[in-house]
């Protein structure tokens, strides 16, 4: 433990909340959190990860730390995205258990009481299960559902229905997650991948307290691709089967034309079928090349072995992780 660590004792519960331009939400969140956790756990800390906010979030966090030293914060050097912000938070928590939650009050702090009960009963991976998505737009709800279906059919990792980032993890599960330094992070998949004794707790998603969602459809699509590609190689393998199928078909077609030519002579027409098959297969080849490219791009990003994130400012948090020595 280093000198700039205000509290020597390790708290029973740590709360990690990634924040990107959430200035108005910090004080209300802390009020509700403190009320919900008082009496439920013996001690707690809240570790905010400021993910490159451009509003007054950082000032709010400094003020909150002044008021209550149990509130700590890391400020990343730029916007790294929520998934990486969560990883940064998990690297720095000290609690015997850690809760991950959004800072926009969509995740009701009162649910944490149930998480803690189940954790004390021996569960190490207690996840919140959304019972309704009504705060999301209809299109987003439909697309989310489609994505989960697709993920299920492509990947060997089972994602529990409705489970997201809002969850409690035992310190052992947190240690397991810290070993996974991948850049294209799909946290929901990682939580499922590590296993541990898991259980779901249903909760109602509340409407966002202030501000707007940071996830537009483009960002959600990229996130979905990251998820699929880091948990499945089926999109790569499928081309071998398509290739085999088309080769067999082409061979059969060649035999057919050979026999027909031998029996009936040369037949010039066939321009249309030629063009159709040329463009069709050109399309398939570009598509398969593109998918291979997506994976290569991700391999490239990983082999560079850059740190997952860079910390610009620490508020009551000591450097701990190997990625955090700058
Ligand atoms: N967030 C973040 N970095 C980002 C985008 C979002 O740390 O680049 C945080 C955000 O401040 C919030 C949480 O992640 O605490 C969830 O984000 P948001 O509410 O925008 O997502 P949604 O609830 O729509 O999925
Ligand atoms: Mg939200």
Q: Do both 163 and 57 map to the same domain?
A: yes
Between the two ends of the chain, the Cα-to-Cα distance in Å is 18
Q: Do both 21 and 142 map to the same domain?
A: yes
Q: Ligand 1 centre from 209 Cα, in Å?
A: 12
Q: Do both 95 and 107 map to the same domain?
A: yes
- What is the rounded distance in angstroms from the CA atom of residue 290 to the CA atom of residue 283? 10
ipTM of the complex: 0.94
Q: Do both 72 and 157 map to the same domain?
A: yes
Domain membership flag for residue 276: yes
Q: Ligand 2 centre from 56 Cα, in Å?
A: 18
pTM of the complete model beyond 0.90: no
Output the domain CATH number for residue 160: 3.90.550.10
- What is the rounded distance in angstroms from the CA atom of residue 44 to the CA atom of residue 40? 10
Domain membership flag for residue 3: no
Which numbered atom of ligand 1 lies nearest the CA of 22?
11
Q: Do both 23 and 145 map to the same domain?
A: yes
Domain membership flag for residue 221: no
Domain membership flag for residue 124: yes
Residue 106's domain spans which residues? 13-216+307-315
What are the angstrom distances between the C-alpha of 188 and each of 171, 174, 253? 17, 14, 47
| Pocket flag, ligand 1, residue 102 (CB < 6 Å) | yes
| Pocket flag, ligand 1, residue 170 (CB < 6 Å) | no
Q: Do both 201 and 252 map to the same domain?
A: no
Number of domains observed in the structure of the chain: 2
Mean pLDDT value across the chain: 85
Is the model's pLDDT at 246 over the cut of 60?
Answer: yes
Q: Ligand 1 centre from 38 Cα, in Å?
A: 26
Q: What is the pLDDT of residues 53-105, one digit of tens each?
A: 999 999 999 999 999 999 999 999 999 999 999 999 999 999 999 999 999 98
Domain membership flag for residue 326: no
């Amino acid at each position: 433990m280093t000198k700039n660590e205000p509290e020597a004792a390790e708290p029973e519960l740590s709360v990690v909340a990634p924040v990107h331009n959430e200035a108005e939400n910090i004080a209300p969140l802390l009020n509700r959190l403190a009320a919900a956790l008082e009496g439920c756990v013996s001690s707690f800390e809240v570790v905010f990860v400021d993910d490159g906010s451009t509003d007054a979030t950082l000032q709010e966090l400094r003020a909150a730390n002044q008021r209550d030293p149990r509130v700590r914060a890391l400020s990343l050097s730029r916007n790294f995205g929520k998934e990486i912000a969560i990883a940064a938070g998990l690297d720095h928590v000290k609690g015997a258990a850690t809760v991950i939650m959004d800072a926009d009050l969509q995740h009701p702090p009162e649910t944490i009481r149930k998480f803690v009960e189940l954790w004390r009963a021996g569960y190490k991976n207690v996840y919140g299960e959304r019972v309704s998505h009504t705060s999301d737009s209809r299109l987003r709800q439909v697309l989310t559902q489609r994505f989960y279906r697709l993920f299920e059919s492509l990947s060997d990792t089972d994602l529990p229905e409705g489970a997201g980032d809002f969850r409690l993890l035992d310190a052992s599960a947190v240690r397991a997650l810290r070993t996974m330094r991948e850049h294209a992070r799909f946290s929901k998949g990682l939580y499922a991948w590590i296993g541990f004794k898991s259980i779901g707790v249903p909760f109602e998603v509340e409407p966002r307290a202030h501000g707007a969602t940071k996830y537009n459809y483009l960002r959600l699509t990229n996130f979905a691709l990251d998820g699929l590609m880091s948990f499945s190689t089926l999109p790569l393998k499928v081309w071998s089967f398509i290739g085999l199928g088309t080769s067999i078909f082409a061979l059969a077609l060649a035999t057919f034309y050979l026999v027909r030519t031998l029996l009936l002579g040369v037949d010039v027409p066939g321009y249309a079928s030629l063009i159709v098959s040329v463009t069709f297969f050109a399309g398939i080849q570009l598509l398969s090349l593109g998918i291979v490219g997506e994976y290569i791009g991700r391999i490239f990003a990983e082999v560079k072995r850059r740190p997952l994130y860079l910390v610009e400012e620490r508020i009551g948090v000591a450097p701990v992780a190997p990625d955090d020595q700058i």
